Amino acid sequence: MGSYDEVEIEDMTWNEELQVYQYSCPCGDLFEISLEDLRAGEEIARCPSCSLYITVIYNPEDFQEPPPDAGKAPLPATPAPVPVQ
Ligand SMILES: [Zn+2]
């Protein structure tokens, strides 16, 4: 037994809407791991549709508490201002 694969975080896709990193699962669904999971040191991304999982390769220091400057971390969701006509 082991993980299906090892995937570098750079090869995963950031989903702004769901706030998770995703990676294609052979079953057709997507492996998912959240930013919170990464900050907590979690390295397993699971597929919600099957029993497979992958090991995510990343540098935990990249996912510590929000850096002083925004850096490349995703910005918090803020409602888009309504343009004035
Ligand atoms: Zn799957």
Domain boundary assignment for the chain: 5-58
What's the gap in Å between 39 CA and the centre of ligand 1? 24
Distance from the alpha carbon of residue 70 to the mean position of ligand 1, in angstroms: 33
**Tokens 């597929």 -> residue:** 47
User: What's the topology of domain 5-58?
Assistant: Microbial ribonuclease fold (3.10.660)
Quick one: pLDDT at residue 72? 61
User: What's the pLDDT score for residue 76?
Assistant: 64
DSSP string, 5-53: EEEEGGGSEEETTTTEEEEE-TTSSEEEEEHHHHHTT--EEE-TTSS-E
> How many A from CA of 49 to the centre of ligand 1?
5
pLDDT, position 37: 95
Q: What is the pLDDT of residue 75?
A: 62
pTM of the predicted protein model: 0.71
pLDDT-flagged residues of the chain (< 50): none
